[in-house]
């Protein structure tokens, strides 16, 4: 049987990983500035992560949500502490799309409404409602198309106010990434997030903070929406939550009430997933990784600002984007194949940096060296072509 060919892949087979490094089957080392798409939060194969999962695997890997799973309560407690939102409630699931799907459903269950506000260039996942709230018609199947989702311009307070003046009382939820990831590292203005908060409160609309990519400490605060000094009603989380182990969840404000059967999943909150998620939070606390994301992110930003060929540098903490144009169009590909550095991209011309929150300063320096070398290489070869 062949694989269903949906991913454009690089011809590289990774067989080993440690911290911010990967090795392929020929022993070639790579620097990971991509974190497997913002997933690697505490570093590859962190010893505490490995031993906590291994220990759990030897106890019990899975049993259904029909029994008491003390690891779930332990995780909820720890997450409340690390995120600073002790009074929220936790529902566990398996992926970012599923987290957003449940968040949107819960909002609609709560206020009985159907309309959802999302924003241009948003990405919320590929399940039915999550994909309907994603601003990319090419991944929305006909069956997922719905008039219940409205896309407003990102960071446009007036457009949001105008919409709410007309439709606020029919709107179930507003969903927004604090920093759009797939859309190209677009940072939500703090005043825009504050405006969403106040309009949602006035109209009994649920504020959903999609924190799947920008959350979990990556920006130096637990949720990137926290920079605006507001509380959302629901936070969706995935990616960094399990450092590669599939685990996701939503954190739900106390006023949203649970009812038996309202949400559910077979695998969500299983013993192994909880052990992985606990290991991540324990390491984040122990090694002060949110602080590291902030300081190493600032170090990288300051250095990148000095590189004149990079345009529109933006982001927070270790979620950074910049644009490249013309002669640097192959920069990302060449960083991988000439310098052995993984980075992310956003079409058409944005390079995204989403490394582990444990990225060390010397690894950031190594990246900057590779980047400068590759930019020099590309600009000098294009100068030679133009002189010829």
Q: Is 123 in the site for ligand PLP (CB under 6 A)?
A: yes
Q: Is 207 helix (H, G, I), strand (E, B) or coil?
A: strand
Neighbours of 56 (CB within 10 A): 20
Cβ burial, residue 31 (10 Å; 0-12/13-18/19+): buried
Q: Which stretch binds ligand PLP (CB under 6 A): 10-18, 92-100, 283-291, 379-387?
A: 92-100
Compare residues 250 and 283 and give the one whose CB is closer to ligand PLP: 250
CA–CA gap between residue 113 and residue 133 (Å, rounded): 15
CA–CA gap between residue 192 and residue 327 (Å, rounded): 35
Cβ burial, residue 212 (10 Å; 0-12/13-18/19+): buried
Compare residues 264 and 326 and give the one whose CB is closer to ligand PLP: 264
Q: Enter the DSSP assignment of 18.
A: E
Residue 100 CB, shortest distance to ligand PLP, in Å, is: 6
Site for ligand PLP in 194-213 (CB under 6 A): 210, 212-213
Q: Is 185 in the site for ligand PLP (CB under 6 A)?
A: no
Longest dimension (CA), the chain: 73
Compare residues 168 and 217 and give the one whose CB is closer to ligand PLP: 217
Strand runs labelled E in the chain:
14-18, 21-24, 29-32, 89-93, 115-119, 149-152, 171-177, 179-180, 186-187, 206-210, 234-237, 248-252, 311-316, 319-323, 341-342, 344-346, 350-353
Q: Is 97 in the site for ligand PLP (CB under 6 A)?
A: yes
Residue 312 CB, shortest distance to ligand PLP, in Å, is: 20
Q: Enter the DSSP assignment of 205.
A: -
Find the residue with minimal CB distance to ligand PLP: 96
Q: Is 124 in the site for ligand PLP (CB under 6 A)?
A: yes
Q: Is 154 in the site for ligand PLP (CB under 6 A)?
A: no
Pick from 43, 168, 178, 181: which binds ligand PLP (CB under 6 A)?
Answer: 181
Helix axes 289-305, 361-387, angle to 10 degrees: 20
Compare residues 171 and 213 and give the one whose CB is closer to ligand PLP: 213
Compare residues 103 and 284 and give the one whose CB is closer to ligand PLP: 103
Residue 117 CB, shortest distance to ligand PLP, in Å, is: 16
Site residues for ligand PLP per CB under 6 A: 95-97, 100, 123-125, 177, 181-182, 210, 212-213, 238
């Amino acid at each position: 049987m062949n694989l269903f060919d949906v991913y454009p892949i690089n011809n590289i087979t990774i067989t080993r990983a440690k911290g911010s490094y990967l090795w392929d089957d020929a022993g070639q080392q790579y620097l990971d500035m991509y974190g497997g798409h913002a997933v690697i939060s505490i570093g590859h194969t962190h010893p505490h992560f490995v031993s906590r999962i291994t220990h759990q695997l030897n106890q019990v890997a899975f049993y259904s949500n029909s029994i008491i799973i003390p690891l779930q309560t332990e995780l909820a407690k720890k997450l409340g502490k690390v995120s600073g939102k002790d009074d929220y409630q936790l529902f566990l699931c398996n992926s970012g799309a599923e987290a957003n799907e449940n968040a949107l459903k819960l909002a609609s269950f709560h206020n009985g409404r159907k309309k959802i506000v999302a924003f241009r260039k948003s990405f919320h996942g590929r399940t039915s409602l999550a994909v309907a709230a994603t601003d990319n018609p090419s991944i929305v199947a006909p069956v997922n198309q719905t008039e219940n989702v409205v896309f407003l311009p990102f960071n446009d307070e007036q457009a949001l106010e105008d919409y709410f003046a007309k439709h606020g009382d029919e709107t179930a939820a507003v969903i927004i990434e604090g920093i759009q990831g797939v859309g190209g590292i677009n940072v939500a203005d703090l005043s825009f997030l504050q405006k969403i908060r106040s309009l949602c409160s006035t109209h009994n609309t649920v504020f959903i903070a999609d924190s799947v990519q920008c959350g979990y400490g990556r920006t130096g605060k637990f949720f990137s929406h926290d920079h605006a000094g507001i509380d959302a009603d629901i936070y969706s989380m995935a990616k960094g939550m399990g450092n590669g182990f599939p685990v996701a969840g939503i954190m739900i404000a106390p006023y949203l009430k649970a009812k038996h059967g309202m949400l559910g999943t077979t695998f969500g909150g299983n013993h192994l997933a909880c052990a992985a998620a606990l290991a991540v939070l324990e390491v984040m606390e122990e090694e002060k990784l949110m602080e590291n994301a902030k300081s190493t992110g600032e170090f990288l930003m300051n250095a990148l600002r000095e590189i004149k060929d990079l345009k529109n540098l933006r982001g927070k903490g270790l979620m950074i984007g910049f644009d490249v144009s013309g002669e640097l169009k192959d920069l990302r590909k060449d960083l991988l194949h000439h310098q052995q550095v993984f980075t992310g991209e956003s079409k058409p011309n944005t390079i995204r940096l989403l490394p582990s929150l444990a990225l060390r300063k010397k690894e950031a320096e190594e990246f900057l060296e590779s980047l400068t070398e590759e930019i020099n290489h590309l600009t000098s070869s294009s100068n030679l072509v133009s002189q010829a």
